[in-house]
Structure 1
Amino acid sequence: MTLTLQEMSDRFEIQDLIVGYCYAVDTRDWDALDRYFTEDAVIDYSEMVGIVGGLAEIKTFLAESLAPIPAFQHAVSTTQYQIEGDRAKTKTACYNPMTVSDGETTDTLVFGLWYHHEFVRTGQGWKISRLYEQKCYRLNVPDWLAAQLPA
């Protein structure tokens, strides 16, 4: 498959959005998320943590739910692209280790998931219009935390 310069540019811009989202979350820079999402974006974490919402709601949720977690990191790879004009979809593997504590013990757990993004080309370039996190696996999740997560 031969890509045009526009197709290559679109892929790089979209990849930068995916990575930018991860870095914003990992550095707890919630306001940076505004650069990556449309104002009416839908963010669906229902399979992973049980919430679906708009950007403002999700920023509040992330700030509150990740506050007690000392460390986490999102590593993304193997993105598949479907670009049709001013709309695009991707599927990306995400490996997300986290250090958690119940106050007595500290554990490092790992979430493996798929990011399903939808994008729209705007006057300011590509933006994420929808993010859906699909659960793939969970490793070493302590019982106290597993009880708080969707099955």
Structure 2
Amino acid sequence: MTQRVELATVMDRLAVDGLVTEYAVAVDDGDWAAYRELFTPDGRADYRSAGGIEGDVGSVAAWLAENLRLFSMRQHLIVNRRVRFGVREQDAGDTARVGADYVNPMRLAGHGDEGGAPDFVCGGRYSFGLLRTYDGWRLREVVVEEKWRRLPTA
């Protein structure tokens, strides 16, 4: 690899990592306009393993906006990111796959919003499919594989 190719790969890794972080922030902050902007026009998300829906980004964003109002606090911690670049139409590096583990503590609205331990915690693995566009890297697919959850205790 030449230094130019290595530098481009590092820059792509930083951009992809930034996109995954922006995804987490948009969901945690309930910024559904920002969430939609992170995706390609044909982008899809699948939250079925966590009790959600699968569909186009607009439908999923609307579902998230409605259902996540149950929680006054959300904080995705997305770690162990594994990035693999792929090939699209003979151009290396125009697609990427990211596998990343997550832990997501959430507080139920109206249940001790002043602080303390979260009421609900879940964890699992994300699979992100990304595409390089003229506007930069965008999400084409998000699949959640929830592996565990801890519910509130009485």
2:99 to 75, 91, 96: 91
Partner secondary structure for residue 50 of structure 1 = coil
1:90 alignment partner AA: V
Residue equivalent to 2:121 = 110
Counterparts of residues 102-141 of structure 1 (less than 5 Å): 108-139=119-150, 141=151
Gaps of 5+ in 2: 87-91, 113-117
TM-score (norm 1): 0.85
Moved over 6 A (4+): none
Please tell me whether residue 13 in structure 1 is matched to residue 15 in structure 2: yes
- Provide the C-alpha distance between the structure 2 equivalents of 1:17 and 1:9, rounded to a whole number of angstroms: 12
Q: Could you state the TM-score of these two structures normalised by the residue count of structure 2?
A: 0.83
Matches within 5 A, 1:1-150: 4-84=6-86, 85=92, 86-100=94-108, 108-139=119-150, 141-142=151-152
Q: How many residues align?
A: 140
Kindly indicate whether the alpha-carbon contact (under 8 Å) linking 2:39 and 2:138 is maintained by their aligned counterparts in 1.
yes
1:142 CA drift (Å): 4.2
CA deviations on 1:55-113 (whole Å, 9 max, x unpaired) are: 11011101100112111110111100110221110101111001126x7x666121111
CA RMSD of aligned residues (A): 2.1
Letter in 1 for 2:130: F
Gaps of 5+ in 1: 144-151
